[in-house]
Structure formats: structure tokens, C-alpha cells
Amino acid sequence: MYLCICRAIRERDVDAAVRAGAKRPADVFRACGTSPQCGTCACDLRERIARTTAIEETRQPVLMAAD
């Protein structure tokens, strides 16, 4: 599904950007090699970034201290 109609940014594009370190909509636009046009998608991008970030954090391996 497209989250940004102006720049054709899909959910999976946002997910990939988050995995590459994106934390804000501006980071997603940069990762997609574009820039915002109307800005209507900012809220949807933020929600997707938060969702994907939360999922990725649960996937992080638990590091245990070695003695």
C-alpha cells in the first residue's frame, strides 16, 4: 500500500528505510532518493516508522555478558 502518493513510497519502502536507520519522515524521503511534496503523508509515515521500529526492536538478539 502506498503511504505517500506524491512520491510513490510504499509501506515496504518505509520498512526498508527504518531497517537502514530512518527515524523520521525526512529520513525515509532521503532513503528513497526523493523529497516531500505536499506533506500530507507525514502522519502516516510517522506511524509506520514507529510500528516498524517497535517490531525491529523486538527482533534484536539478546546479548548476554560472557564471563
Q: Which stretch binds ligand FES (CB under 6 A): 12-20, 32-40, 47-55, 56-64?
A: 32-40
Q: How far is the CB of 48 from ligand FES (least distance, A)?
A: 12
Nearer to ligand FES, 6 or 16 (CB): 6
Residue 7 in the binding site for ligand FES (CB under 6 A):
yes
Task: Pull the grid cell for residue 57.
Answer: 526492536
User: DSSP alpha helices (H): ranges in 1-67?
Assistant: 11-19, 25-31, 42-59
Instruction: Supply φ then ψ for residue 30, to 5 degrees.
Output: -60, -45
Binding residues among 36-55 for ligand FES as defined by CB under 6 A: 36-41
CA separation for the pair 6, 23 (Å, rounded): 20
